[in-house]
Amino acid sequence: PTRMLKATLEKWDRLTPHQRQSVDFTLPKWVITQTLVTICEENGLTMKHITELEMMHVLENPNQGTW
């Protein structure tokens, strides 16, 4: 599942390569989520942007559900 999330984040293209590399995908899902929320807040991204990411993830991974 984390490989899929990494790929989705790359396609989403709202984070810098450095920001994507700073996410530790070996941590629990809630920690990854909190890290992404913090980065998004720092970048001034809105709920619209986050919803876009969620939709991309669900469309590309329909059997996984939401992350």
Give me the pLDDT at residue 12, please: 96
Q: How many domains does the chain have?
A: 1
Is residue 16 left, alpha or beta, with left meaning phi > 0 and alpha meaning psi from -120 to 50? beta
> Does 36 map to a domain?
yes
Sign of CA dihedral 11, 7, 23, 17: negative
> Does 56 map to a domain?
yes
Spatial separation of the C-alpha atoms in residues 25 and 11, rounded to whole Å = 17
> Does 48 map to a domain?
yes
> Does 49 map to a domain?
yes
> Does 15 map to a domain?
no
Q: Which residue, chain included where needed, has tokens 């810098």?
A: 16
For 44, the domain range is 1-6+28-60
Nearest to 22 by CA among 35, 41, 9, 5: 35
pLDDT in tens, 3-51: 888 999 999 999 999 999 999 999 998 999 999 999 999 999 999 999 9
Residue 64: which pLDDT band, with cuts at 50, 70 and 90?
confident
